[in-house]
Structure 1
C-alpha cells in the first residue's frame, strides 16, 4: 500500500438490530477513512451509534444484528470475512479499547494472564518476553509497582486502574489501528493526559491509525486530525477538526459547540441542545435532527438530507447548513 492510501475505508456501513420483530437501525450509511498515523474523532451524544460503529468494524455486531456495507482493511474487505480469518486481525492489526472495563475484563483471570494471552496469540514472544512486555505496558499506562500487580485480579483494581489495564491490553501487540471507545472517561485529568500522549506517540512512532470516540470536544481538538459528528446513527458532519470545531456547518454541531462553557458568568444557566435524541423505534421520516432544529423547513420533515461535500474534505448532511458567520457567532 502507498503511504497516501487509507489503511481503513468504511463505506455505507449499516447495522440493524431486531427487537420484537421491529428493525432498529443503529448505524446508517456511515462512511469515512483513516490513514496511517491519522487520528479521527467520533463525537456525538450517547446513543448516536459511535460504539456500535466501532464494533461493526471489528465484526462484533454480526452476532446480534445485520451488518452491511464495506469495511476495507489494507485494501481487503473484512465486513463479511469469516470469523476464523477475522480473529487473526483482531488484537494484532486492529485493537479496541472498550468503554466498560469491568464487563470487558475476565474477573476469573489475573491481569497478567489477560495481558500476555494477546501477546501469545499474536506475537512470537517467549514466556519471559511476554511478561516483560506486560510489565512495560502497565508501567506505560501509569500503574505503579507493575510487576507486583500482574498476579492480581480485576476486582483488586479501582475503576480507573481497570481502564488503564484495558488500554495496556489493546496496545500490547502494537496494532496498526486502534479503536478507542472513550478510553479516558474514568481517569483523572493527569492520567488522561498521560494516556492520550501515549496513544499519540504510538500513532506517530508506529504510524498507527486511531478512531477516538469521546464526548470531550477539548480532547478532540487537541488530539484529532479529522472529526466526524454522529447523530441518530448517521454522520451529519465531518472534515478537518479545525474546520468542524471553529466553523461548524450542521445545526447539531453548532449546538454541541455552544454546550461547551466559555467565559460563562457565575451562576448563569448553561446552554443545552433543546429536546432529546430520537428513539430507534420511532425515527423521524425526514432529518432525524429536525424536531430539535430551530432552522428546520418543511422539506426537513419529509426527506433525509444526504451527506454532501461542501468543500474539499468537508461534508454536511443538512438542507440548510449554517454559514461560516453563523457558526462562528454561535
Structure 2
C-alpha cells in the first residue's frame, strides 16, 4: 500500500434518503472516511446496513432514485453536486465499480468483447484495432485463457468465477484510480473466492489502484483490507486499521460479528448469532440503532445517537468494550 499526505477520496457526512409512501427513509446516515492512494478499505456489516448504497452514492448512482447530501471530494471537486453529464466522464474511467452479481450486470445479448469495448469507446481515444487488442489484454490480465477467442462468447458461456473476472476486466478497461467492489465474491465457492480476491489485490498493487471492498465476510476483510469500517443501521460504528478492529474490537456489534465466525468449534456445538434482527429503515431507533440488540446498552443509548470518536481507532458507542484515547464512556 502506498499512501500520500492528501487522501485520494474524502467522504464527509454522506447521507442518502429515499421517499417511500410519504416517509423519508435514511439508508446512509452521515458517513465519513478518507481513502489514501493505493489503500484497500473494507466496509463490513450485515445485509441492509447501508454498505452497497454507500458505494452507489459515491458513484452518483443512488441519486437517480434517492436524495444524496454531504461531500464526496474527488480531485478537489464534490461529486455529490456534479451534473450527471460530468459524472459519466468520471464513472467507469477514474472510478470503476464491480457489482455484486455478474450475471445480472452483464448484458446477456452482447458478447463480452463488445461489453469491454463499450468502456474503451466511452473513455479512451483508442481506434478499433487498438480497442480489440486492449480487450484481449484485459481478459489475459484477469486470467481468462484463450482470450482472443473468448471475446466472442456470451456471458452464459462463462462460469460464475469467469463472469466475475469479465466484470473486473470491464472495470479495469480505462485504468481507474479507484475500484469499488460490491461483494465481488458472493455466490462463488471458496476456491474461486480466493482467486478473485487475490486478483483484485494483485491488480491494486500492480496498478497502484485504491479499492473499497464491501463484504459481510470478516475473513475476506482480514485477508484483503488495510483498514476496516464497520457499518450498522446506515452509520459507521467503528473504524480503524484492520489489525486494531479485528484484534481489539470496541463496538459490541463488531464483537458480535467476530463471534459469529465459526472458529475451532466442536461438532454439534450451537453457533453464536447476534440476537434480534437489523433495524427497519421505517422504524429506526431514536438513539443508537444497535441498542435494542445490545446487552450492554446504557440510558444514553436509547436517547442519543453516539458520535464516531477517537483518533486512529474510532468507535460510535457510549459504552465501548474499552475506551480508546479521545472517547468517553464506561467499559
Q: Do the aligned residues in 1 keep the contact of 2:227 with 2:240 (CA within 8 Å)?
A: yes
The more displaced of 243-252 and 211-220 is 211-220
- Three-state SS of the structure 2 residue aligned to 1:183 is coil
* Match runs of 1:1-330 below 5 Å: 3-309=4-310, 312-323=311-322
For residues 268 and 249 of structure 1, what CA distance do their matches in structure 2 show? 27
- For the 8 Å contact 2:161–2:192, the answer to whether it is kept is no
Q: Deviations over 1:199-245 (max 9, x none)?
A: 22222232211100012211211111110000010000001110000
Q: Indicate conservation of the 8 Å contact 1:105/1:154, yes or no.
A: yes
Cα distance 1:323–1:33, how it changes in 2: closer, same or farther (>3 A)?
Answer: same
Deviation at 1:125, TM superposition (A): 2.1
SS of structure 2 residue aligned to 1:205: helix
User: Please, what TM-score do these two structures have when normalized by structure 1?
Assistant: 0.93
SS state at 2:93 partner: coil
* Alpha-carbon distance in structure 1 between the residues aligned to 2:34 and 2:112: 33
> Shift in Å at residue 184 of structure 1?
1.6
The structural deviation recorded for 1:109 is 1.6
Q: Deviations over 1:161-212 (max 9, x none)?
A: 3222111111122110000001122333333333222222222232211100
Task: Tell me the TM-score normalized by structure 2.
Answer: 0.93
Secondary structure (helix, strand or coil) at the match of 2:90 reads coil
CA contact (8 A) 2:43 2:215 kept: yes
Shift of 1:42: 0.3
SS at match of 1:115: helix
Secondary structure, aligned partner of 2:81 = coil
More divergent stretch after superposition (270-279 vs 299-308): 299-308
Q: Structure 1 residues 175 and 156 mapped into 2: Cα distance closer, same or farther (>3 Å)? A: same
CA shift for structure 1 position 73: 0.6
Structural RMSD (CA): 1.6
Q: For residues 176 and 5 of structure 2, what CA distance do their matches in structure 1 show?
A: 19
